[in-house]
Structure 1
Amino acid sequence: MSKRKKQNTRPSTPSAPEEEPVRVAAKPKVKARPSARTHPTETVAHPLIFGRDTYYWLGGGFLLIVIGFLLMTGGRGEDPTVFDEGVIYSWRKITLAPMIILAGLGVVTYAIFKK
């Protein structure tokens, strides 16, 4: 016999009146997240990557780089139609400022590799 015939040939038995199913509100599934802190006022101490001296070297190197760029600024003449080679191609802008910038980059590189 096929399944359909089996379903159709079931004897019907008188049953009791059906009760409505009880509906229960489902709670959302929430995964518990591990908290980094156990108390809101408690702080977690993270050690610094570099030591204090290294940060002083980095600061000095960045300061040298900024000074070098400041030495490169300027050169604007009073008359925009006049090209003054003495101001634009001065020793300060062409030679001194790039050397100071390279020195600053060298100091920063030394500070990073010092550790």
Structure 2
Amino acid sequence: MAEIKRAYQPNKRTTSTPRNVVPKQAKQPLTSLFTKDNYKWMALGAIVVAIGMFLMSGGRNENPNQFDPKLVYGTMRITVAPIIILLGLVIEIYAIFRKPKQEAVEEKTV
């Protein structure tokens, strides 16, 4: 039994700090993924999509017992509203992929 205790020597790596611990000086401040401009563009895109949805909802039929194809299949519901919704989605994609200006990034890191 004494021979086994002498043969076992702990690994020096186990006594040091773990590898996944980052030293304090290496930590960087957290920066936001988006800037104010990105959020403004996102809000604009959401508003445009909401307007397109509102236009797609259309009008109200005065007589609920009678079907009026002019209200259901109108140009505003079938053509204009989907184009406006797609425009809003394009604005959203632009807002997500838009890179911040270099001055805005430098101001946040200082």
TM-score, L = length of structure 2: 0.59
Aligned residues: CA RMSD: 1.6
- Quick check: which one's helix share is greater? 2
1:64 to 48, 71, 96: 48
Q: Percent identity?
A: 44
Q: Extract unaligned runs of 5+ from structure 2.
A: 1-28, 100-110
Q: Extract unaligned runs of 5+ from structure 1.
A: 1-44
Matched positions, count: 71
Q: Equivalents in 2 of 1:95, 1:74: separation in Å?
A: 12
How many Å apart are 1:75 and its aligned residue? 3.4
Q: Please tell me whether Structure 1 or Structure 2 has the larger radius of gyration of its CA atoms.
A: 1
- Return the letter of the residue paired with 2:43: G
2:45 corresponds to 1:88: no
Q: Which has the higher contact order (CA 8 A, sep 6+)?
A: 2
> Following superposition, which runs of at least 4 residues in structure 1 exceed 6 angstroms of deviation?
none
Structure-2 residue corresponding to 1:74: 58
How many Å apart are 1:46 and its aligned residue? 5.8
- Describe the SS at the equivalent of 2:60: coil
Over residues 24-72 of structure 1, what are the superposed CA-to-partner deviations in whole Å (9 max), with x where a residue is unaligned?
xxxxxxxxxxxxxxxxxxxxx9643201111111011000000000001
| Larger CA deviation: 69-78 vs 52-61 | 69-78
